[in-house]
Structure 1
């Protein structure tokens, strides 16, 4: 059987090599030093290029049907080896000889049919072994020498018994046995003998096993760190009997419940969890997804627990249980109609009751050790908050009442709660906070969230007394008059301030004059048009500023020059930036400082059309710079004219002629009247090709195309520049540009191309056809204004000496010229 298996593996291996040879992709070094990933790269062996000092190697989703010694190069430093889903079927005795220092071996999802007795056993330093979904049906794995093993995960297999091999009693460091999703249905006393003898700090996971029966006494005198039996019983009756059969178990944490909700528990004993009374545990995690018409008694057997978690269930009430040692209670997403009045729990330190919407809250009292309370997402309404609802709780430091319906406070809402450090009311309607200084006694408060509480801040004493406040969130509220200018005057240690979505249209510099430690300022989704508060040195510690989704069209140069030196994040996304040449300095600043913006692609130019978007970083600043330069030159020229007209004409004749021709050409443009089909812009040194090839093929073809050439069609006695405009550019439907090295070197060619671009853009027309006669270096192409950008955005034709390619060339060129004829 083994020989047949080896033969089949070998054939499969050879076929795969023949198919995949040369197709494997290189492994990559991960961010952490000496960690390499080769995942999903069609590899059939471990690359020899992997350094021998590599500590972690992730090789999942490749193809290694048979593991032998040559598969692995010498990797003396390797500690973690992940071979998930590599189609491994055969593991030879010496397979891991070259990686014998591995401490974690992951073989998940491999159809292993043979493991050599000295293969895994040779990994004497192995701490963690993962054999999930490998087809195992028992513990018949050769791992008796792995005395340092701590974690054995053999979940999602077909194992039918929890009976461990006797040799595991020597595994003194063993702490985790994961048998989830196997086929264990019966647990007998003799199945747990080894587990009982180990008596270690062990976690046993039996979740999602179809347990029918546990023999009484099977877990007697067994000590575990954690037992997970969530979804591990075929029915509720089996669960009821199974919990009773766990009598005598001593476990720190017990996890029970179900994964898939049953339709109903009709007819089930309300005391179906009574077996918990026979188990000694400190922490319990109960996920109840069953619904019922009855009131289940869930807590009465948890009286000695120190931590209870009841999650995602259908509990409608919590019975009154005199807990003795309870420190943490979590009740999440149940059907409670009322927050239980858990009073007199002197040991309770943390209480979380969330997502029981809607629920009634009557308050707590006499819990002297309670420090943390989270009652969010219950949609309750209360009046006279908050001292009345948290009586005799002198140590409370954290209160979260967010995402509830309505909370009315009195004038001294936090009397007796002076040690509060965190207070969260976000998305809960409040009343008088903001009108009076009702927070003054909270001198230890470091975190306050009043976001979207429908408050209107009108009192300068709203935050008086909060001398320790570091984080303040007040977004989604409103501010009366000029209250912002002195609202934060005493918050000298504040580090984070959020005032997003508050309708703010202006902020004066005095608003932040006392916030010397402020690091994060969020002003998103407001109506700000300027950021002049930055012109004053008030925010020396600021590292993050969010002003996205405001009305900022530009930022003045003096503001940019005074931006805090520590600022590393500036969010300007979705502001209507004015992309005009008058804003060139601001736009260039954005382009230059893109690392400053978390989303530079969302900084957009203001557009009159909602369907048109242009990123600021894509704005053509070069054109603006050229225009600015032209204006400067023209201004200088005008000044010099007054001094010396002759020098002006001689020194700046090109620019003057260029400007005059552009203006005159634009005014006299003929609308729809053309003498020629196309005007040819080319260097005289390329005239042979133009006459012999271009003119011959276009003018003598069918239908004939009438071309305008300066050597024959320009009007004698007329200025060359006027001929270029009148006869060439404005007198032709299309313009053909023949680009070559000679073209780049010709000042007249560059002039003609720039004129063609300028005048055609003014007319809203762009009928320019580019022919690349010969390859030109990109740096030379950039010498011609606009040519490089035009080539990147538009399709051009390229001349080739290949006859077949040239035939297509002439067809495409003719089609382009007569396209709108």
Structure 2
């Protein structure tokens, strides 16, 4: 547990095998509860201020048990099986202010066991087997509290030297065996002062000597269940005459069945005790009518708890300021009886069975009214309080039903706190009943079956600081405008309202908001925080929603003052696509509330894998691998695209070949020769080649692309089907333009492919004009073909020209037969 600071953190350190303590507040507060230790761990730093060593084993206490701990202030040795305490045991921890030895079966106290503890202020020896208050504590001059309850002490007489203990303020003697109190038992109390609390509850008192407490001044006296019988209690109250006490607690505990009074004057002894505050714990029903309050008329605070009272006749108080009726089964709020109490400031009437509220008339000082946990059902509230113009606090929570309408709170302009939680509130969601409550700071209508349909429900609450509407409903997008006028709101609770989505404008005017509770809704995102309106937000609760992830841009715009963010119990997506979010969770564990309860539910609804344990590094490796594979894939695609583009003609040729290769011997050829030439050489082909071959004897049918290719068919298919595969011979007209033409090169290379498959010299090359040797190498296979095969060369010389045509015709016709 943490005794000193909310920001304490826990560090575990190992002392030896199986032994450890917990550092609650670093180097200041340690807990070794129930570690089965038989010695104080030497690893505890000397700077420690609080040490809880309860439920261990230290049977024998002596000086060597404790290391030197000069700053130790609080030492708890409860239930450590201590049996012997030697002199100067606490020398090494001499600066203690609190020593707790509860529940140890101590058989021996060394007469000087507390000699070193000059600064001790609180000594707790509950249930240690004490039989007397005559213990050696004379050096404890700064002692403020001595708690020795649940022992076998038979006398409340304090040692005489305690009369100089001017700071002594509490003596707890509950559950001992004190049966008689005499005047000489209270001598020290008369000398100590007026600031003392005396607890005598659960003792079997039989007799108090009359006057034993006369002229004694106590801050508080607790005598609940402190008498052996009802007769002893009646006589004991009378014997307390002359006692002056600020706060008197009497009656009995729930499990005390010893006292059942049937005397009407049972409480008359209270008339002779001077008290300001009285707390009466009845725990019973009287067989006769008892005027409970007759002897309380001068009290300023009166509380009656846990009795069976059906009605209250009158309340004869003169100076009453606070009045409590708690768990008494009263079926009527005592309005008429209260109306004359002009001094009453606070009324608490809770856990009764009242169904209606009477009119509160002429109560000018009444500021606080708590009517919670009754059976009140009202069709219209709250005109009953018209006589309480200064009412500041009104609590009607935990009742069946309250009806509200316009003008409900007329006359209650001073109201600052209004609580209806867990009471069905009718009429609130459709109108604004709060128009005149300009000073209201706190409004709670949680779990009140309200459906907000009107955007002006909170109109008039210009000074509202805290609004709790948990467990209610919204119609349409009313929540987008509902809070527009609440510019001073600092705390908003919208938990368990079944909200699916929130618009950023819902909170655009709430620039002072510090706490926003959206727990238990159906939110899938908190994108509404993307806008910079909630700069002062320090606490945000979105646990138990349906949030799987939060985008990085939203996380980066979270309010800089945010110190408590509860994201637990959401189905967090722990995947490599959310590494930014998971990394944020890991880094913000000091801000996140319950970070250990943020589980990766996307893995499995029942998964107990924590988001803080997610391996971010594995995602980095996967990401790198993905990048590498992506780069490789893109590179391959680009390379393949380039190759496809570069060799697109050949690929088309391969596809055509895959459909089934037909050799000239297996098909009928439509042409004698397919002519491959550049379009720049078309004049020579038409005027010379076609004229001499097709018009000669016998005529040779040529395949010319501009004349014989089928319209609508791809060029590549025409080249292969009509030209190369549909002709017996291939005539290649080589010129400078031929070398530069991509189509010519493509056609020639396809022709070579046929040549390689058939092994026949079906390619006839005509050199139309001289081309440099190095340029012929630009056409794949041309240079090599010219080196190994005979070719024809065109010449304008008539004799050479005649031989050229004879040889060409012969070459074309030669293998056709």
TM-score computed with the length of structure 1 as normaliser: 0.69
Q: Counterpart of 2:179?
A: 185
Among candidates 418, 423, 430, match of residue 428 of structure 1 = 423
Among candidates 238, 241, 246, match of residue 232 of structure 2 = 238
Q: Counterpart of 1:353?
A: 349
Note the C-alpha offset of 1:426.
Answer: 1.1
Q: Counterpart of 1:214?
A: 208
Per-residue deviation, residues 461-483 of structure 1 (Å, max 9, x unmatched): 22222221111111222223332
Confirm or deny that 1:378 pairs with 2:390.
Answer: no
Confirm or deny that 1:535 pairs with 2:534.
Answer: no
Deviates more, 1:85-94 or 1:490-499: 85-94
Among candidates 545, 566, 573, match of residue 540 of structure 2 = 545
- CA 1:63/1:267 → structure 2, altered by over 3 Å: closer, same or farther? closer
| 3-state DSSP of counterpart to 1:219 | coil
Determine the C-alpha separation between the residues in 2 that align with 1:594 and 1:103: 36
Per-residue deviation, residues 290-315 of structure 1 (Å, max 9, x unmatched): 23454443222211111122223323
| 3-state DSSP of counterpart to 2:325 | strand
Among candidates 119, 123, 126, match of residue 129 of structure 1 = 123
- CA 1:444/1:136 → structure 2, altered by over 3 Å: closer, same or farther? same
Q: Is the 8 A contact 1:474 1:499 kept in 2?
A: yes
| 3-state DSSP of counterpart to 1:282 | strand
Deviates more, 1:411-420 or 1:351-360: 351-360
Among candidates 438, 444, 453, match of residue 443 of structure 1 = 438
- CA 1:45/1:612 → structure 2, altered by over 3 Å: closer, same or farther? closer
- Alignment map for 1:606-625 (pairs within 5 Å): none
Determine the C-alpha separation between the residues in 2 that align with 1:167 and 1:244: 30
| 3-state DSSP of counterpart to 1:439 | coil
Q: Counterpart of 2:221?
A: 227
Q: Is the 8 A contact 1:264 1:292 kept in 2?
A: no
Determine the C-alpha separation between the residues in 2 that align with 1:32 and 1:588: 27
Note the C-alpha offset of 1:164.
Answer: 2.8
Determine the C-alpha separation between the residues in 2 that align with 1:266 and 1:487: 57
Determine the C-alpha separation between the residues in 2 that align with 1:312 and 1:295: 17
Q: Counterpart of 2:394?
A: 399
Q: Is the 8 A contact 1:444 1:466 kept in 2?
A: yes
Note the C-alpha offset of 1:210.
Answer: 0.6
Q: Counterpart of 2:362?
A: 366
Q: Counterpart of 1:455?
A: 450
Note the C-alpha offset of 1:427.
Answer: 1.4
- CA 1:530/1:646 → structure 2, altered by over 3 Å: closer, same or farther? closer
Q: Counterpart of 2:292?
A: 298
Determine the C-alpha separation between the residues in 1 that align with 2:617 and 2:406: 62
Q: Counterpart of 1:513?
A: 508
Q: Counterpart of 1:336?
A: 330
Among candidates 458, 461, 464, match of residue 466 of structure 1 = 461
| 3-state DSSP of counterpart to 2:235 | helix
Determine the C-alpha separation between the residues in 1 that align with 2:275 and 2:628: 87
Note the C-alpha offset of 1:525.
Answer: 3.1
Aligned residues: 628
Note the C-alpha offset of 1:227.
Answer: 1.0
Q: Counterpart of 2:163?
A: 169
| 3-state DSSP of counterpart to 1:373 | strand
- CA 1:86/1:427 → structure 2, altered by over 3 Å: closer, same or farther? closer
Confirm or deny that 1:475 pairs with 2:475.
Answer: no
Gaps of 5+ in 1: 1-20, 650-821
Confirm or deny that 1:144 pairs with 2:138.
Answer: yes
Q: Is the 8 A contact 2:446 2:468 kept in 1?
A: yes
| 3-state DSSP of counterpart to 1:384 | coil
Determine the C-alpha separation between the residues in 1 that align with 2:26 and 2:600: 40
TM-score computed with the length of structure 2 as normaliser: 0.69
Note the C-alpha offset of 1:112.
Answer: 3.4
Per-residue deviation, residues 552-605 of structure 1 (Å, max 9, x unmatched): 455455444444344444444444556666656555655565555434455556
Q: Is the 8 A contact 1:231 1:259 kept in 2?
A: yes
Determine the C-alpha separation between the residues in 1 that align with 2:414 and 2:198: 41
Q: Counterpart of 1:281?
A: 275
Determine the C-alpha separation between the residues in 2 that align with 1:569 and 1:159: 50
Gaps of 5+ in 2: 1-14, 645-817
Deviates more, 1:539-548 or 1:180-189: 539-548
| 3-state DSSP of counterpart to 2:413 | coil
Q: Is the 8 A contact 1:641 1:648 kept in 2?
A: no
Determine the C-alpha separation between the residues in 2 that align with 1:602 and 1:172: 51
Determine the C-alpha separation between the residues in 1 that align with 2:137 and 2:459: 67
Determine the C-alpha separation between the residues in 2 that align with 1:176 and 1:153: 8
Note the C-alpha offset of 1:92.
Answer: 3.9
Question: Which has the higher Rg, Structure 1 or Structure 2?
Answer: 2
Q: Is the 8 A contact 1:174 1:200 kept in 2?
A: no
Determine the C-alpha separation between the residues in 1 that align with 2:422 and 2:246: 38
Q: Counterpart of 1:745?
A: none
Note the C-alpha offset of 1:330.
Answer: 2.2
- CA 1:635/1:312 → structure 2, altered by over 3 Å: closer, same or farther? same
| 3-state DSSP of counterpart to 1:475 | coil
Q: Is the 8 A contact 2:472 2:497 kept in 1?
A: yes
Determine the C-alpha separation between the residues in 2 that align with 1:49 and 1:583: 43
Deviates more, 1:407-416 or 1:618-627: 618-627
| 3-state DSSP of counterpart to 2:220 | strand
Q: Is the 8 A contact 1:229 1:256 kept in 2?
A: yes
Determine the C-alpha separation between the residues in 2 that align with 1:587 and 1:137: 62
| 3-state DSSP of counterpart to 1:385 | coil
- Alignment map for 1:615-694 (pairs within 5 Å): 632-641=627-636, 643-645=638-640
Among candidates 246, 250, 275, match of residue 252 of structure 1 = 246
Q: Is the 8 A contact 2:404 2:433 kept in 1?
A: no
Deviates more, 1:342-351 or 1:541-550: 541-550
Note the C-alpha offset of 1:491.
Answer: 1.2
Determine the C-alpha separation between the residues in 1 that align with 2:550 and 2:63: 66
Determine the C-alpha separation between the residues in 2 that align with 1:270 and 1:354: 26
| 3-state DSSP of counterpart to 2:123 | strand
Determine the C-alpha separation between the residues in 1 that align with 2:508 and 2:307: 51
Determine the C-alpha separation between the residues in 2 that align with 1:625 and 1:518: 39
**RMSD after superposition:** 3.5
Q: Is the 8 A contact 1:422 1:447 kept in 2?
A: yes
Note the C-alpha offset of 1:238.
Answer: 1.8
Per-residue deviation, residues 481-510 of structure 1 (Å, max 9, x unmatched): 332222211111211212223233332222
- Alignment map for 1:306-317 (pairs within 5 Å): 306-317=300-311
- Alignment map for 1:21-170 (pairs within 5 Å): 25=19, 29-31=23-25, 34-44=28-38, 46=40, 54-121=48-115, 123-170=117-164
Note the C-alpha offset of 1:248.
Answer: 1.4
Q: Is the 8 A contact 1:295 1:317 kept in 2?
A: no
Determine the C-alpha separation between the residues in 1 that align with 2:524 and 2:95: 63
Deviates more, 1:571-580 or 1:354-363: 571-580
Determine the C-alpha separation between the residues in 1 that align with 2:285 and 2:328: 10
Determine the C-alpha separation between the residues in 2 that align with 1:550 and 1:56: 40
Deviates more, 1:254-263 or 1:40-49: 40-49
Deviates more, 1:213-222 or 1:43-52: 43-52
Note the C-alpha offset of 1:233.
Answer: 0.9
Confirm or deny that 1:325 pairs with 2:322.
Answer: no
Determine the C-alpha separation between the residues in 1 that align with 2:40 and 2:605: 54
Note the C-alpha offset of 1:275.
Answer: 1.4
Determine the C-alpha separation between the residues in 2 that align with 1:392 and 1:301: 28
Note the C-alpha offset of 1:124.
Answer: 3.9
- CA 1:142/1:445 → structure 2, altered by over 3 Å: closer, same or farther? same
